[in-house]
Amino acid sequence: MVTNFSDNHSIVSVWVRELRDSTIHGDSMRFRKNLERTGEVAAYELSKHLNYKNINIQTPLCETAGTMLETQPVIATIMRAGLPLFQGLLNFFDQADCAFIGSYRKHNQEGAFAIEQQYQANPPLTGRPLIIADPMLATGSSMIKALESLMENDRPSQLHIVSVIASSSGIANIVLAFPEAFIWTAAIDKDLNSNSYIVPGLGDAGDLAFGKKRQF
C-alpha cells in the first residue's frame, strides 16, 4: 500500500516545496526541521494502522478506560540523511526502540556505484512493527539492502517505509521485494537521472542537512 501525501493539498506540500527550493537550501536548520516534521505527519498517519489494546487507568476522580499500543515499534533509519526524518518519527513513538544502518553509494571511476553497508545495530524485531526512514527513495537499492539485513533473522509484524520523495521505479522495486510493506511518502517523482538521483527531487538530502561530504 502506497500513501502519497501530495495527493491532497496539506501543509506537507509547503514543506516539500521548501525542501526542493535551491534558493533556501543554505538554511540547513530549516531543511532538517522540514524533514523532521514530515516524519511527524507520517508517524501520525501510520499510527492508524498499528494495533492497540484497552486498559483500565485511574484518574484523580475515578477508574476509566484507556488505550495503549499492543507492541512498541522499532524505528530504523539509514544514516546519515535519514536522521531528521527518524527524529520526527521518534517524537511521536517516544517509547520505541531504535535501529541504525550505515550505508553509502561507493562510486567507481566510470560513475557507477554499489551500495556499501558497513554498520548495523538493532534490537530484536520479530513480532514488532518495523518503521524505517530514508528521505530519498531513488532506486530503492539502499532500502532493500537494509531491510534484507534487518530481516535476515527476524520477522516484524508490520513493515512501514517512510520517505519524503520517492521515485516511481524505486517504489516499484520496493513493492516487488517487500509486497507487504506500507510505503509513506510526501511526493512521488517519475524520473531518475543518469546518476540515479530523483528528478526533480531536491538534491543530496544528507549534504543539505549536515554539510557536504567527501566522496569515496
3-state secondary structure of 2: strand
Q: What is the pLDDT of residues 53-99, one digit of tens each?
A: 999 999 999 999 999 999 999 999 998 899 999 999 999 999 999 99
Handedness of CA 16, 18, 23, 24 (dihedral sign): negative
Would residue 65 count as lying in a domain?
A: no
The label of the residue with cell 526502540 reads: 97
3-state secondary structure of 186: strand
pTM of the model: 0.92
Count up the domains in the chain and report the number.
1
Would residue 113 count as lying in a domain?
A: yes
Domain span at 135? 2-50+72-210
Closest CA to 77 of 91, 87, 67, 68: 87
pLDDT of residue 199: 94
Q: What is the pLDDT of residues 160-209, one digit of tens each?
A: 999 999 999 999 999 999 999 999 999 999 989 877 889 999 999 989 99
Neighbours of 56 (CB within 10 A): 8
Would residue 124 count as lying in a domain?
A: yes
Residues 171 and 188: beta-carbon distance below 8 Å: yes
CATH, residue 168? 3.40.50.2020
Would residue 216 count as lying in a domain?
A: no
Would residue 56 count as lying in a domain?
A: no
Closest CA to 124 of 86, 91, 143, 152: 152
Q: What is the pLDDT of residues 23-62, one digit of tens each?
A: 999 999 999 999 999 999 999 999 999 999 999 999 999 9
Would residue 194 count as lying in a domain?
A: yes
3-state secondary structure of 43: helix
Start-to-end Cα distance in the chain: 36
Q: Is residue 216 over pLDDT 60?
A: no
pLDDT of residue 196: 80
Would residue 135 count as lying in a domain?
A: yes
pLDDT of residue 114: 67
pLDDT of residue 111: 57
- Which pLDDT band, with edges at 50, 70 and 90, does 108 fall under? low
